[in-house]
Structure 1
């Protein structure tokens, strides 16, 4: 039984198809797809707003600035603990879990100040959360000021942000296009080269020399 010469041939594999693509195709396709995905994400994802309030540790008459700076570092760590956030949720009007995921603090080793930053998709809520946490932290700190000899005071209230802090859709699209172009370049480097196998000819592989051939040559 003979094979049908007109029958279907083996379908081209993915690697064989990649070999036939022009070099610029992968770069262009990766850039285009990455830019589209990034742009869509930037449009669909709601913008985020950030607001920051500041509190400052002030030494009492029986303390010194170095002590106040040290307690400011401690207050920065305490601000996101449940004891403080439990009171702040009442003034912010959001659950503790929301405050836990949306509020962060920053301190400086050279200044007795704590920055309390809140992020939200609503600009007014971002300011409310930052102010609520700073208010709760100030209250807890001043409950023990006779023992710590440090008083916590509000330095600046958070205000409603006028512009989002997250990246714009255009910027997200640009980042996506850059990432897609990079992936396309990596795929281009990993692209198989044309070989005898691509042209249908078996590659010639030298075999081990036989002993008889060696004696005949001699």
Structure 2
């Protein structure tokens, strides 16, 4: 029985699974991430964005210097309930949909407000952007006697012809980059490979006292 033990040990070592090389984790992460990112870009419905522009102008009792500040303020309230509640009927969507898919942007140099709406249907994106722009101008008309600033729709939104969502090529590259990063992190945190027969200890070097004692015995 004792003679077969070394032989069985050698056979088990032959059939033992060899660990994958280090570069395989990076390659697997890049390949998996690229496939998942590309599939996401192909399967996800395209998104279209339409933008309407509103400009702030002074009334007879105001000057152009105050319009810039009011444009910044109106840009912040364009996505508030008071404006979106007035825009939901002409837009044909709920207030929650407007809140989730409408964004505004202002310029520090010009009293202009950009109102952008995103949707899977180009016509719906146009309707939401124009409806919020008109609701915002009506909101400003109610307070222009106090603010001495009114809003005018500078440019209506037009129907987009190309989607604004990233194509499959871009999502695939992003996924591959993320997969490679995760593969690199896995290399850093994985445990170090141990010897199959246990840890290997370095040979000990006798100190001066042990060497002197051995010399005396000789």
Residue 186 of structure 1 and its aligned partner are, at CA, apart by 3.9
**How does the TM-score come out when normalised to structure 2?**
0.83
Q: How many residues align?
A: 211
Taking the aligned partners of 1:66 and 1:79, their CA distance within structure 2 comes to 21
CA–CA distance in structure 2, aligned partners of residues 180 and 200 of structure 1: 34
- Residue 48 (1) aligns with residue 47 (2): yes
1:165 maps to what in 2?
Answer: 164
Assess, with a 3 A threshold, how the Cα gap between structure 1 residues 206 and 65 changes in structure 2: closer, same or farther. farther
Q: Residues 89-129 of structure 1, C-alpha deviation per residue, up to 9 Å, x if partnerless? A: 01101110110111111111221111101111111111111
Question: Aligned residue for 2:98?
Answer: 99
Distance 2:148 2:203 in 1: 87
Q: Secondary structure at the match of 2:165?
A: coil
- 1:200 aligns with one of 186, 197, 200: 197
2:142 corresponds in structure 1 to 143
Consecutive unaligned residues of structure 1, counting only runs of 5 or more, are none
Counterpart Cα distance in 1 of 2:82 and 2:16: 65
The residue aligned with 1:152 is 151
Aligned to 2:181: 182
Unaligned runs of 5+ in 2: none
1:202 alignment partner, SS class: coil
Instruction: Give the structure 2 partner of residue 17 of structure 1.
Output: 19
Give, in angstroms, the shift of residue 213 of structure 1. Answer: 4.6
Structure with greater Cα Rg: 2
> Is 1:117 aligned with 2:85?
no
The root-mean-square deviation of aligned C-alpha atoms, in Å, is 3.1
Secondary structure of 1:17's partner? coil
How far off is 1:62 after superposition? 1.0
**C-alpha spacing 1:71/1:9, structure 2 compared with 1 (3 Å):** same
